[in-house]
C-alpha cells in the first residue's frame, strides 16, 4: 500500500485506485452472490454503486433513508449498496442489491495477506463489471442530504426532484467532526486545525494542536498517563505540530495498530513524523509506515531515547535529556527536498 493511504476513506481509496465505471466484459473473479443481484442488473435505468463505509450507525440509517427517498421520488436509478456494515434489515424493504465486504478489523484478525484497502478496491472494480455500474454515488456525512440530491440530478439529466422529497431529506450533517466512528476519511483535513475528537473505534481521544511547522510529534499514551507533558511543551515551543492520542491501556492490539497506522499515514504527507511511546506500550513488533523517529523515556532516567527508522530495529542513536530540535529541523528540510525530487521524477516518467 502506498505511503499516506491508510487514513483515506473508502470513497477516496476508490478514486485513488481509479475505479472505472461503465460497461465491459465480466472478469473471471470469484465473489459471493450479492442479494438481489439479478434485479439490479436490469438496464431500464442507470445503476449506481453506493459505497457505505466509515460512517456512524446513525449516518448509515439516514444515508439509506435518503437514497430511498430519492429513488422513490425520481424512479431514475437502481442502487447497489457496497458496505462492510450490517445493513440488511435497513435495505430489505427496498429490494436493493447488497454486496458485503469484511470489515477492516476482522480482516486483520484472520491474517489476510493482501491489504484490506487493496481488497476493497478490487472488489469494487469487480462489482462494476458484474452489475454494469454506470456511476458511483459518494456519501458525505458532513453535508446536508449527504450530498446525494445534487449527484443524482447531475448524473440523470432531465429529472426533477420534487419539493416534497427535498423536504424529507436531512438538512444538517448527521456526523459531527468532534465524534468519529473510525479512523478513515477525516484525519488529513483535521490536522489543519486545533480540535479534540472522540473515536468510537478503540474508545480513543485525539487532540490536535497544529504548529508553525508541518512536522509532527505523535504522542501515544493511555488515558490519564503523564509521561509526555514536558516533551509536548518542548515540541510546541519549537513550532512542531502535536497529535496526542489517548486510549485505554488495555486497547485491542489490532485496533491500536489501526489507529497509529492511520494517524502516521496522515501526518507523513506533511513533514517529519516522530512517535513518542510510553514505556508500557509495546512497539517492538510493529511500527507503522510514515514514522521517521521513535522516542521513548529511558528506563533508568528522565532522558529520552531517540531511534532512527533508517537503522534496523530502530537502534538508539541519541540519548539526551532534551531533544536537539535544530538537528531534527535540518532532517525535515532534507527529507522534504528528497521527497520533492522523488515526486518530480515520477511526474516526469
Q: What pLDDT shows up at residue 72?
A: 92
**pLDDT confidence of residue 12:** 83
The region, left, alpha or beta by phi > 0 then psi within -120 to 50, assigned to residue 18 is: left
> Is the backbone of residue 68 left (phi > 0), alpha (psi -120 to 50) or beta?
alpha
Assign residue 202 a region (left: φ > 0; alpha: ψ between -120 and 50; beta: otherwise): left
User: Starting at the edge strand that comes first in sequence, how are the strands of the sheet with 135-136 ordered?
Assistant: 97-100, 78-83, 47-52, 135-136
Give me 58's grid cell.
446513525
Sequence-distant (≥ 6) Cβ neighbours of residue 112 within 8 angstroms? 119
Helices (H), the chain: 10-16, 37-40, 57-74, 88-91, 104-109, 116-131, 148-155, 163-168, 187-190, 229-237, 253-267, 325-348
First to last CA, the chain: 21
Residue 27 is classified by DSSP as: P
Q: What is the pLDDT of residue 217?
A: 94
| pLDDT tens, position by position, 259-290 | 999 999 899 888 889 898 876 555 555 677 78
DSSP 97-127: EEEE---HHHHHHTT-SS-HHHHHHHHHHHH
**179-348 and 10-168 share a CATH fold:** yes
User: What would the grid cell of residue 100 be?
Assistant: 458485503
Cα atoms in the Cβ-side hemisphere of radius 13 Å centred on 271: 22
Q: Where are the domains of the chain?
A: 10-168, 179-348
At residue 340, the pLDDT reads: 54
- Partnered with residue 179 across adjacent β-strands are 198
The pTM is what? 0.77
Grid coordinates belonging to 228: 509526555
Does the domain spanning 10-168 belong to CATH 3.40.50? Answer: yes
Query: What is the C-alpha to C-alpha distance for residues 274 and 220, in angstroms, rounded to an integer?
Result: 11
Segments of the chain with pLDDT less than 70: 1-4, 17-43, 172, 279-286, 298-302, 309-322, 331-332, 334-349
Q: pLDDT at position 160, please? A: 87
Assign domain 179-348 to a CATH class. Answer: alpha beta
Q: Report the distance separating Cα 72 and Cα 76, nearest Å.
A: 9
Q: Tell me how far apart the alpha carbons of residues 241 and 209 are, in angstroms, rounded to a whole number.
A: 6
pLDDT tens per residue, range 280-335: 555 555 677 788 888 877 666 567 777 776 543 444 445 555 677 777 777 667 66
Amino acid at each position: 500500500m502506498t505511503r499516506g493511504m491508510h487514513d483515506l476513506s473508502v470513497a477516496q481509496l476508490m478514486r485513488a485506485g481509479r475505479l472505472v465505471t461503465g460497461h465491459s466484459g465480466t472478469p473471471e473473479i470469484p465473489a459471493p452472490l450479492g442479494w438481489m443481484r439479478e434485479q439490479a442488473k436490469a438496464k431500464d435505468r442507470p445503476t449506481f454503486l453506493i459505497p457505505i463505509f466509515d460512517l456512524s450507525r446513525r449516518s448509515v440509517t439516514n444515508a439509506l433513508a435518503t437514497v430511498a427517498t430519492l429513488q422513490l421520488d425520481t424512479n431514475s436509478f437502481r442502487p447497489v449498496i457496497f458496505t462492510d456494515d450490517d445493513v440488511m434489515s435497513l435495505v430489505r424493504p427496498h429490494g436493493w442489491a447488497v454486496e458485503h465486504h469484511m470489515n477492516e478489523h476482522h480482516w486483520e484478525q484472520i491474517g489476510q495477506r493482501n491489504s484490506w484497502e487493496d481488497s476493497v478496491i478490487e472488489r469494487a472494480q469487480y462489482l462494476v463489471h458484474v452489475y454494469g455500474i454506470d456511476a458511483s454515488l459518494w456519501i458525505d456525512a458532513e453535508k446536508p442530504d449527504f450530498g446525494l440530491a445534487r449527484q443524482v440530478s447531475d448524473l440523470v439529466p432531465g429529472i426533477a426532484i420534487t419539493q416534497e422529497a427535498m423536504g424529507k431529506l436531512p438538512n444538517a450533517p448527521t456526523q459531527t467532526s468532534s465524534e468519529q466512528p473510525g479512523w478513515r476519511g477525516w484525519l488529513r483535513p483535521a490536522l489543519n486545525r486545533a480540535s479534540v475528537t472522540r473515536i468510537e473505534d478503540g474508545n480513543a481521544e485525539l487532540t490536535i494542536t497544529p504548529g508553525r511547522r508541518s512536522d509532527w510529534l505523535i504522542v501515544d499514551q493511555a488515558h490519564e498517563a503523564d509521561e509526555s507533558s514536558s516533551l509536548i511543551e518542548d515540541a510546541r515551543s519549537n513550532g512542531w505540530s502535536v497529535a496526542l492520542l489517548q486510549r485505554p491501556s488495555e486497547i485491542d492490539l489490532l485496533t491500536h495498530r489501526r489507529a497509529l497506522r492511520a494517524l502516521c499515514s496522515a501526518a507523513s504527507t506533511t513533514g517529519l513524523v516522530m512517535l513518542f511511546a510510553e514505556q508500557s506500550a509495546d512497539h517492538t513488533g510493529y511500527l507503522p509506515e510514515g514514522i521517521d523517529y521513535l522516542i521513548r523515556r529511558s528506563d533508568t532516567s528522565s532522558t529520552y531515547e531517540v531511534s532512527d527508522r533508517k537503522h534496523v530495529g530502530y537502534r538508539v542513536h541519541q540519548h539526551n535529556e532534551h531533544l536537539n530540535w535544530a538537528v531534527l529541523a535540518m532532517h525535515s528540510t532534507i527529507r522534504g527536498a528528497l521527497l520533492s525530487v522523488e515526486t518530480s521524477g515520477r511526474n516526469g516518467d
